[in-house]
Amino acid sequence: MAAKKTFEVKDGETIAACLDRIQQEGFVPVRRIEKPVFTETMINGKKEIPY
């Protein structure tokens, strides 16, 4: 069984181009994972989201 590897869509790259890059490296995309860019923090009892 092959090792798992994660790929990120680079700046200025389309999703289709990223999928082509994944296939060129010999991997097959199984699922799409979205991770949040910002984290919520509690400051003085209020939720603060950095922009």
Domain ranges in the chain are 1-51
Kindly report the pTM of this predicted structure. 0.59
Q: Which residues of 10-43 are buried (b: 16+ CB within 10 A; e: fewer)?
A: eeeeeeeeeeeeeeeeeeeeeeeeeeeeeeeeee
SS3 of 7-38: the string is CCCCCCCCHHHHHHHHHHCCCCCCCCCCCCCC
User: Is 25:18 a contact under the CB 8 Å cutoff?
Assistant: no
pLDDT value, residue 1: 56
pLDDT tens track for 11-32: 999 999 999 999 999 998 888 8
Higher pLDDT, residue 40 or 50: 40
